[in-house]
Amino acid sequence: MSTTMSFRSSLLRPLAVAALAFGLAAPALAADGHGTPKPPREEWSFAGPFGTFDQAQVQRGFQVFKEVCASCHAAHLFSFRNLAQPGGPSFSEAQAKAVAESYQVQDGPNDAGDMFDRPGRLSDRWPSPFPNEQAARASNGGAYPPDFSTLAKARTYEVGFPGFLIDIFTQYQENGVDYIHALLVGYEEPPEGFALPEGAHYNKYFPGHAIKMPQPLSDGQVTYTDGTPETLDQYSRDVTAFMMWMAEPHLEARKRIGFQVMIFLIIFAGLLYFTKKKVWKSVGH
């Protein structure tokens, strides 16, 4: 009797340890403690090993950024000339120049030692809406609208076990854009009994739910010229794709070169194998 018991417990022990470990990890799995749901996974043209940006979408996203988000959010790594680079919105140089010239940029000092404003050039950085962080906070109820330059790659959400392992194999890398899209469409009325701090707005996907950014987009707000539906969901997708390009302008090149390197390595491995056979041919086993 006691031998069977100890046999059984020795079998069960690893299971018990695994269960305990899982139990400890479980709170982390169940969202992030604020009852924040996981953002749904969306379809993105740039996902997967052969992903590329949808040029028309990124151009629309730029329009949304320029007309809506750029009045609060800066993008200090972004220059007008980037608009004409391949692998993104890929505007013509003349179009990018026209955008640049529609902004006034501070330059100087001139010979008299004064700063002056002049129309933007391709080499200029995207002008920030506020002169400094303090001014940005003062206008936004104390919250700082984060810089867009790398935001799509800087934001993510907890996937937990075993999802994060599966994601490695399915090459899921769109956590940031899924979160931002969900955030933009995730404004709701606060549930009964939720104490919303003053100046904050309830968002289903924002950790803690109280966000200082008022809902930036709504149906029909931006006029598209290519017949794409002017809906909140569409705007959110487009601007998020644009933010992804901004955060990783060389994404297409990275994926293309990555694939070429894999092909090269496979061929190279074959060559090495036959070279090895030839070099050692005359040596007996």
To ligand HEC, the closest distance from the beta carbon of 73 in angstroms equals 6
Return the range that interacts with ligand HEC (CB under 6 A); candidates 120-128, 137-145, 252-260, 261-269. Answer: 137-145
Measured CA to CA, the distance from residue 270 to residue 283 in angstroms comes to 21
- Sign, CA dihedral 218-220-224-229, equals positive
C-beta separation of 103 from 120 below 8 A: yes
What is the smallest separation between the CB atom of 138 and ligand HEC, expressed in angstroms?
11
Does 156 participate in binding ligand HEC (rule CB under 6 A)? no
Residue 65: CB minimum distance to ligand HEC, A: 7
Stretch of 75-83, 99-107, 187-195, 208-216 contacting ligand HEC, by CB under 6 A: 208-216
Stretches 37-45, 66-74, 94-102, 277-285: which one binds ligand HEC (CB under 6 A)? Answer: 66-74
Residue 230 is which amino acid? E
CA gyration radius for the chain? 26
Residue among 55, 90, 140, 215 that touches ligand HEC (CB under 6 A): 140
Contacting residue, 47, 58, 83, 180, with ligand HEC by CB under 6 A: 180
Instruction: Say whether the peptide bond before residue 109 is cis (omega within 30 degrees of 0).
Output: yes
Segment interacting with ligand HEC, rule: CB under 6 A, options 75-83, 86-94, 176-184, 260-268: 176-184
Please tell me whether residue 69 binds ligand HEC under the rule CB under 6 A. Answer: yes
Candidate residues 88, 216, 232, 241; the one interacting with ligand HEC per rule CB under 6 A = 216
Stretch that binds ligand HEC, among 79-87, 97-105, 209-217, 272-280 (CB under 6 A): 209-217
Tokens (6 digits) for 64: 């949304």
Residue 107 in contact with residue 115, Cβ under 8 Å?
yes
* Among residues 9, 71, 171, 260, the one that binds ligand HEC under rule CB under 6 A: 71
Q: Give the rounded distance of the alpha carbon of 115 from its chain centre.
A: 36
232 is a site residue for ligand HEC (CB under 6 A): no
Residue 155 is a binding residue for ligand HEC (CB under 6 A): yes
- The 8 Å CB, 24+ separation contacts for 3-12 are none
- Residue 241 as a binder of ligand HEC (CB under 6 A): the answer is no
CA 190, CA 207: separation in Å to the nearest integer?
14
Contact 61, 80 (CB under 8 A): no
Give the Cα separation of 139 and 160 in Å (integer). 37
Q: Which residues contact 24 (CB under 8 A, 6 or more apart)?
A: none
Backbone angles phi, psi at 75, to 5 degrees: -150, 80
CB 224 within 8 A of CB 230: yes
For position 151 contacting ligand HEC by CB under 6 A, the verdict is yes
Residue 64 binds to ligand HEC (criterion: CB under 6 A): yes
Minimum distance, C-beta of residue 185 to ligand HEC, in the bound complex (Å): 11
Binding residues vs ligand HEC (CB under 6 A) = 64, 68-69, 71-73, 140, 143, 145-146, 151, 155, 180, 183-184, 206, 211-214, 216-217, 239
